[in-house]
């Protein structure tokens, strides 16, 4: 009741204050308006507020408190008398209560305008809560301006509404005053209980001290902030014997240091949160917080038994002897639980090793090196179990247990006095020399009786092993430089066999001492010396010795007896010497005898072959040699040139015959035609060079002569030539006027076969005479042909032209031998100096004669 009375008094005060302020404001605005109409801009503080009103009042819409047409006429000089009216727009915000209870609608507040005194007005409102979402919450009475609320409003969804109120003239529907923003504030009520905003799961290490912070709980309230509706108080409803919570901040701390994960790994506590700072009428919520305890290594692993024992067979390695289980209360599969085992006693010789089974956490005890029963039948070990993580929060120590190992005896083979026997001998020791004895004993009887010895490996077959005594003797010459020796060491393997066929194996390492049994040698005796103009060349000679120091280098080099004095030695070093020319030498191969001796003056004569030549990239290149030819050599070359000349004549005649068919005798039974065969052809007995059938005017283009060919049983042809033709072509041998009938067997390189007959005077020519005349005839023919080439250039056939070959390679000193080639001068014999090595033998023969 008291609260309602206070609320009504506050509303009355607010309305009264607004009215008083409105009156003062109207008085101030009238004064400002009067000054503005006089043409002044007013900006002055009159105790209420500072307002600046412009001179021009030509805006379309009415101002907040006055209308332009109330003060101004259509002419600037006319003025109306201003009337002061009561301002009824409500400037303060309206208030409603959220989630108000029915009945609805409920009146909120009246809005009013001063223009209602001069006009018949009506009111409208628009905006959120009216014409925009949420639509229909508010409405206004058009006549009275009463704003009403039609349903309950949740402040948490809509803390306030701001909409616009307007006033209109009923007659003209024009606004009679400026629109006024209306704010409706929704007053909060405590209608929301606080809620937890974060996870309720917290964690801490076990056995933490009292007062250790566990974590903080957070809560929120949807009601209005900074009011008692959102002031939350925290309270533990359970677990108060172990934990404490701060009522204002929600921080939980430990109350004791006895929290043990191995006893209980998590704790559930109930927490209450209440608004109104925990007042009885406040709203409350509860939640269950889970506090997890994290593990620390406060428990060492413990053995399930107080001691362990096992048996193992001797002479066996990598055998699992024993599994040792442990228990650990800490969290499994973590460093606090994973066990690490150590053998702390009894494993001084390293015969055992222990590992951890990752699945079961057991200790696995292995024999890493074979045990010998004769050395000890019983072994006592001590095994300790630890964790990967350090032990904290506990006064306990790492546990240890004893482990007894019994070694089981078995019948073993012989054992050599030493697994590896080392001996030292010199190379080239005489065969049969005793170098040592290698024996074995039975480990049970400690005796060598009845044991036999055999070789297992002897790569070079240098050593003999006595079957009964184990004596080692030389079987073949021992050579330190042999491929079977590595690092001066040679080894053999020996096997011992007892009466029960049990075996044992041993190794003999033989260190071989060096002797001076190798003279220095020159590995590369064929050397190349590259010729240089104006310089005396030299080559490097290197030697080597397979012996060791002091039986090897540095070497001594000497020229052996009988050297020719053309070479000398210089720049002698440990294993090499420079062999230099003592005089300028022509190209060729030279042999130089050398004596190479080691540090002990042990050496022998060796011969080095040196080739002096012109080089390219360090290798000799072939050089064309120039030789002098004797008289017979020159004649032989001239004979070859004559043959080449005859070949040219033949080619010339062949080229001038334009695929003319040549009939052969009956023996050939066909015609000789031009062939493109590139390989050697078959021998043909038909004529190769054909004498021209007729020479008419001395030109290369031969006139057609009537040729009468009659074939008889002998296959002879008849050729008729008159004296005028012979004289015109300057053949003096046929100066008489006669008709010649020449019966030919064949033409063969100008040699006529058979006989020749003349009408008007019979004359017989022998074969020899015919050959001579044919040779002369061909000479005259060639002279005529050359004369034609000089005197006449037009009308020649293309086949008769003399052409030079367009040869793209290197030139030949002998010139071309083609059928139409241009010959060199006959007196140029320079090519004889470059005929190459094939003519050397011929030149030597000719020079000798």
pLDDT 10s digits, 492-504: 999 999 888 888 9
Mean pLDDT of all residues in 530-535 = 84
pLDDT for the residue 841: 65
pLDDT score of 645: 86
Cβ pair 274, 231 in contact under 8 A: no
pLDDT over threshold 50, residue 127: yes
Q: Which sign does the torsion angle of CA 417, 422, 424, 429 carry?
A: positive
Distances (CA, A) of 829 to 31, 316, 449, 645: 144, 98, 101, 15
Least confident of 128-142, 516-530, 578-592, 762-776: 762-776
Residue 193 has pLDDT above 50, yes or no: yes
Please determine, for residue 539, whether its predicted confidence score (pLDDT) is greater than 80: yes
The CATH code that applies to domain 526-620 is 2.60.40.60
pLDDT at 406 over 90: yes
* pLDDT tier at 377, thresholds 50, 70, 90: confident
Question: Cα dihedral sign for 47, 50, 56, 59?
Answer: negative
Of residues 19 and 583, more confidence is placed in 583
Torsion, CA 60, CA 66, CA 68, CA 69, rounded to 10: 120
pLDDT of residue 518: 86
- pLDDT for 839 equals 66
The segment with the largest mean pLDDT, out of 376-380, 729-733, 805-809, is 376-380
Q: How far apart are CA 66 and CA 26, in angstroms?
A: 9
Fold (CATH) for 302-408: Immunoglobulin-like (2.60.40)
Confidence of residue 509 (pLDDT cuts 50, 70, 90): very high
Q: What is the DSSP string of 198-250?
A: S--EEEEETTPPTT-EEEE--EE--S-TTSGGG--EEEESS-TTTEEE-TTT-
Beta-bridge partners for 647: none
Give yes or no for residue 847 having a pLDDT over 80.
Answer: no
Q: How confident is the model at residue 388 (pLDDT cuts 50, 70, 90)?
A: very high
Least confident range of 27-36, 596-605, 621-630: 27-36
What CATH architecture does domain 415-513 belong to?
A: Sandwich (2.60)
Question: Of 189-203, 243-257, 273-287, 618-632, which gets the smallest average pLDDT?
Answer: 618-632
Chain centroid to CA 801: how far?
A: 70
Is a pLDDT exceeding 50 seen at residue 744? no
Average pLDDT for residues 293-298, to the nearest whole number? 93
CATH 2.60.40.60 for the 88-188 domain, yes or no: yes
Least confident of 51-65, 383-397, 560-574, 616-630: 51-65
Residue, of 86 and 629, whose pLDDT is higher = 629
Arithmetic mean of pLDDT, 20-40: 38
User: Of 584, 424, 399, which is closest to residue 513 (Cα–Cα)?
Assistant: 424
Backbone φ, ψ for residue 90 (5° rounding) = -90, 115
- Write down the pLDDT at residue 828: 56
> What whole-number distance in Å separates Cα of residue 335 and Cα of residue 380?
30
Backbone angles phi and psi of 539, in degrees to 5: -135, 155
Res 685: pLDDT = 47
User: What local confidence, expressed as pLDDT, does residue 835 receive?
Assistant: 63
- Look at residue 217 and tell me whether its pLDDT is greater than 90: yes
Check pLDDT > 50 for residue 798: no
Predicted confidence (pLDDT) at residue 787 exceeds the cutoff of 70: no
- Percentage of the chain beyond pLDDT 90 is 43
Rg (CA), the chain: 70
d(CA 723, CA 796): 28
Average pLDDT over all residues of the chain: 75
Q: pLDDT tens digits for 435-456?
A: 999 999 988 778 888 899 999 9
pLDDT value, residue 796: 47
All CATH 2.60.40.60 domain ranges of the chain, comma separated, are 88-188, 195-294, 302-408, 415-513, 526-620
Distance between CA atoms of residues 464 and 443, nearest Å:
26
Q: Is the pLDDT of residue 119 over 60?
A: yes
Q: Which CATH class is domain 195-294?
A: mainly beta
Which tokens belong to 12? 């009355």
Lowest-confidence pick of 78-82, 149-153, 215-219, 679-683: 78-82
Q: Over 60: is that where the pLDDT of 475 sits?
A: yes
pLDDT at 656 over 70: no
pTM, to two decimals: 0.43
The per-residue pLDDT for 773 is 59
Mean pLDDT throughout 827-839? 60
HSE of 613, CA atoms in CB hemisphere, 13 A: 18
């Amino acid at each position: 009741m008291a609260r309602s009375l206070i609320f009504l008094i506050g509303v009355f005060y607010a309305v009264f204050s607004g009215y008083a302020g409105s009156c003062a404001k109207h008085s101030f605005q009238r004064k400002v308006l009067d000054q503005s109409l006089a043409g002044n801009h007013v900006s002055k503080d009159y105790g209420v507020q500072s307002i600046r009103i412009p001179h021009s009042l030509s805006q379309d819409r009415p101002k907040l408190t006055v209308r332009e047409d109330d003060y101004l006429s259509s002419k600037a000089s006319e003025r109306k008398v201003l009337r002061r009216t009561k301002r009824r727009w409500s400037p303060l915000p309206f208030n409603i209560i959220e989630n108000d209870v029915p009945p609805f609608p409920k009146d909120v507040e009246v809005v009013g305008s001063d223009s209602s005194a001069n006009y018949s007005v009506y009111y409208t409102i628009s905006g959120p809560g009216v014409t925009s979402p949420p639509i229909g919450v508010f409405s206004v009475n058009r006549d009275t301006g009463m704003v009403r609320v039609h349903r309950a409003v949740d402040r948490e969804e809509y803390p306030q509404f701001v909409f616009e109120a307007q006033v209109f003239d009923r007659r003209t529907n024009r606004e009679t005053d400026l629109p006024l923003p209306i704010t409706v504030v929704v007053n909060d009520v405590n209608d929301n209980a606080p809620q937890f905003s974060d996870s309720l799961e917290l964690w801490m290490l076990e056995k933490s001290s009292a007062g250790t912070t566990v974590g903080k709980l957070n809560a929120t309230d949807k009601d209005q902030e900074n009011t008692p509706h959102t002031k939350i108080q925290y309270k533990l409803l359970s677990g108060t014997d172990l934990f404490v919570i701060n009522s204002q901040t929600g921080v939980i701390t430990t109350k004791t240091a006895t929290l043990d994960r191995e006893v209980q790994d998590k704790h559930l506590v109930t927490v209450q949160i209440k608004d109104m700072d925990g007042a009885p009428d406040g709203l409350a919520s509860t939640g269950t917080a889970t506090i997890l305890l994290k593990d620390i290594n406060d428990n060492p692993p413990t053995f399930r038994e107080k001691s362990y024992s096992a048996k193992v067979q001797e002479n066996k390695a990598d055998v699992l002897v024993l599994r040792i289980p442990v228990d650990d209360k800490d969290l499994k599969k973590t460093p606090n639980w994973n066990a690490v085992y150590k053998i702390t006693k009894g494993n001084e010789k390293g015969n055992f090793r222990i590992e951890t089974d990752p699945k079961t956490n057991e200790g696995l005890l292995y024999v890493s090196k074979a045990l010998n029963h004769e050395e000890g039948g019983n072994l006592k070990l001590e095994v300790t179990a630890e964790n990967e993580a350090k032990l904290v929060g506990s006064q306990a120590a790492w546990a240890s247990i004893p482990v007894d190992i019994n070694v089981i005896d078995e019948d073993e083979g012989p054992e050599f006095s030493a697994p590896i026997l080392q001996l030292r001998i010199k190379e080239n020791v005489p065969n049969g020399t005793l170098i040592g004895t290698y024996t074995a004993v039975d480990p049970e009887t400690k005796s060598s009786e009845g044991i036999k010895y055999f070789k297992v490996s002897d790569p070079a077959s240098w050593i003999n092993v006595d079957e009964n005594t184990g004596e080692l003797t030389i079987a073949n010459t021992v050579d330190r430089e042999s491929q079977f020796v590595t690092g001066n060491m040679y080894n053999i393997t020996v096997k011992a066999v007892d009466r029960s066929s049990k075996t044992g194996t041993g190794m003999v390492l033989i260190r071989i001492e060096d002797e001076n049994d190798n003279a220095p040698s020159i590995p590369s005796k064929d050397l190349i010396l590259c010729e240089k103009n104006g310089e005396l060349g030299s080559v490097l000679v290197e030697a080597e010795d397979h012996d060791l120091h002091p039986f090897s280098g540095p070497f001594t080099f000497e020229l052996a007896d009988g050297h020719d004095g053309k070479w000398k030695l210089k720049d002698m070093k440990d294993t090499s010497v420079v062999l230099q020319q003592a005089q300028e030498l022509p190209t060729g191969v030279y042999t130089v005898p050398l004596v190479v001796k080691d540090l002990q003056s042990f050496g022998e004569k060796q011969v080095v072959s040196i080739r002096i030549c012109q080089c390219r990239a360090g290798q000799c290149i072939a050089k064309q040699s120039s030789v002098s030819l004797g008289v017979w050599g020159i004649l032989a070359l001239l004979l070859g040139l004559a043959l080449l000349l005859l070949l040219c004549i033949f080619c010339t005649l062949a080229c001038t015959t334009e695929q003319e068919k040549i009939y052969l005798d009956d023996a050939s039974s066909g015609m000789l035609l031009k062939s493109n065969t590139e390989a050697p052809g078959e021998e043909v007995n038909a004529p190769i060079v054909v004498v021209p059938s007729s020479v008419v005017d001395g030109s290369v283009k031969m006139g057609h002569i009537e040729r009468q060919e009659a074939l008889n049983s002998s296959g002879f042809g008849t050729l008729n030539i008159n004296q005028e033709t012979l004289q015109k072509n300057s053949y003096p041998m046929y100066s008489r006027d006669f008709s010649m009938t020449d019966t030919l067997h064949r033409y063969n390189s100008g040699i006529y076969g058979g006989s020749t007959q003349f009408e008007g005077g019979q004359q017989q020519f022998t074969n020899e005479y015919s050959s001579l005349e044919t040779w002369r005839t061909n000479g005259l023919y060639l002279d005529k042909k050359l004369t034609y080439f000089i005197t006449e250039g037009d009308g020649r056939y293309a086949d008769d032209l003399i052409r030079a070959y367009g040869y793209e390679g290197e030139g030949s000193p002998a010139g071309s031998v083609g059928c139409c080639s241009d010959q060199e001068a006959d007196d140029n014999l320079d090519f004889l100096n470059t005929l190459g090595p094939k003519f050397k033998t011929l030149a030597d023969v000719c020079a000798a004669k």
